[in-house]
Amino acid sequence: MRYSIEQGWLQGARRAPSPNFGPRPGSGAVELLVVHNISLPPRCYGGDCIERFFTNRLDWDEHPYFDEIRGVEVSAHLLVRRDGEVVQFVNFGDRAWHAGESCFAGRSNCNDFSVGIELEGADDDPYTDAQYAALSAVTRLLVAHYPQMSTENIVGHSDIAPGRKTDPGPAFDWQRYRQALRE
């Protein structure tokens, strides 16, 4: 899939606008990419629960696990589904609510200067070839589009919120991903 960015939206991605975002403070420069994972309910793939969660339409009574996240309002810029489909929830020019309490290179509040990409998955479940292909293509585009972002400024959620977050987890193949970025 060939992607492009027009006015902060990824062309080639499906849009599902989330209300869970705000303006970027200061210069609004995008400098960091944060890789996450999510599955709702945990380790259940292919449904629309993630999309409904990020757009505040999840039925909290639908599954017992949802009591643990009841009322939480979060989002990410992108979700990469198991089949490689990319869904965009928040414009790249805006601040998605994906990182929470976080710190990178001595700077807190990573949401202010980052793009958050969720992979449909779980820490210990291998990610799919389609996900690596889509994630790599989107990452190359983001790095080319945002001059202050570099391949050195790509981290996992666990890197910016250690002790609080573990994603994308040990199943994520950083070497494979970084090699694909050089191709």
- 50: closest CA among 30, 21, 74, 27? 74
pLDDT one-digit tens code per residue, 1-21 = 789 999 999 999 999 999 999
SS3 172: coil
Helix (H) or strand (E) holding 102: none
Amino acid at position 112, single letter? D
- Which tokens is 136 given? 């790599």
Strand partners, 80: 86, 119
DSSP notation for 17-74: --S-EEEPPTT----EEEEEEE-SSTT--SSSHHHHHHTT---TTSSGGGGGGTT---
Per-residue pLDDT tens over the stretch 116-145: 999 999 999 999 999 999 999 999 999 999
Task: Look at strands 103-104 and 154-156 and give their pairing.
Answer: unpaired
Give CATH for domain 12-38+76-182. Answer: 3.40.80.10
What are the catalytic residues? 118
71, two tokens: 């009322």
Each residue's pLDDT tens digit, 138-176: 999 999 999 999 999 999 999 999 999 999 999 999 999
Q: For the whole model, what pTM was predicted?
A: 0.98
- Three-state helix/strand/coil letters over 160-175: HCCCCCCCCCCCCCHH
pLDDT band at 28 (very low <50, low <70, confident <90, very high): confident
C-beta atoms surrounding 48 within 10 Å: 12
Domain boundaries, the chain: 12-38+76-182
Give the per-residue pLDDT at 1: 74
Single-letter amino acid, residue 20 = N
